[in-house]
Amino acid sequence: MNNNAKYKFLTYLFLLLTVFVVFLFSKNLYTQITENTKQKQALTQQLEEKNAQYQEISKIKSDIDSWAVQDIDFDKFLSNFSEDELVEYFYSYANNNPSKVQIQTIGLSQWAYNEFGFMEAKIDLWVTFSSEKDMLDMITFLQNSQKYNFFIHELNYSLGNTLSPISVNIPLKVLYK
């Protein structure tokens, strides 16, 4: 084999090897690098978001632990919805105001999650009050309860009746977590 043919052969051989390397290795590696770079970018973003979320939630926890959060009464939301405590709560008010409040019936319904993620229970309180003022006093007492988150969104009574006793159904809503 003369030099010319040898050079030619080696030229084609290396060109073939180059093509072989490019198609079997380089191309695949390039594809992998492209995909991995995308994955890395997505992970970087995810990590940033998670870190921000963690920082935010850690701050909340440290604020709660250091009593910096004062506008939320956690105990009211974390109280249990138990019949014994609720019944005791209503009757103790009535017993403390015997001439003003007479409880007729207390109806409790099972709790259910409302659309906002809180547990919500309903209590139907049938009460006879000596006067309208006594009714408003009890409603105010319930609204300002230190123990429960009571809400009243319905009420029917004969407004203006200041003389005779009033029997009223107070449909209470209790929110808790």
Partner 1 sequence: MVTTNEYKNDTKHYKGMNISIILFVFVLFSTIGLYFYNMTIVSKIEAMQTQVAQVEESIKKVNEDEKVKLYVLIQANKTYLEKYKYLSNIPMFINSLKELARVHRVVFDGFSYANGEIISQLTAQNDAVTLASAKTTKFLEYFRKKDEHIFSLGFVNSFQGQEGVSFWVKFQVK
Residue among 153, 151, 145, 157 at smallest CA distance from 174: 151
- Which of 81, 139, 165, 167 contacts partner 1 by CB under 8 A? 139
Give yes or no for residue 74 binding partner 1 (CB under 8 A): yes
Residue with tokens 């007492």: 141
Give yes or no for residue 17 binding partner 1 (CB under 8 A): yes
Looking only at the bridges linking them, the beta strands covering 101-108 and 119-129 are antiparallel
Q: Decide whether 98 or 160 has the Cβ nearer to partner 1.
A: 160
Q: How many CA atoms lie within 13 A of 100 on its CB side?
A: 16
Looking only at the bridges linking them, the beta strands covering 112-113 and 119-129 are antiparallel
Give yes or no for residue 47 binding partner 1 (CB under 8 A): yes
Q: How many CA atoms lie within 13 A of 101 on its CB side?
A: 23
Binding site for partner 1 (CB under 8 A): 3-4, 7-8, 10-15, 17-18, 21-22, 25-26, 29-30, 32-33, 36-37, 39-40, 43-44, 46-47, 50-51, 53-54, 57-58, 60-61, 64, 69, 72, 74, 77-78, 116-118, 136, 139-140, 143, 150-160, 175, 177
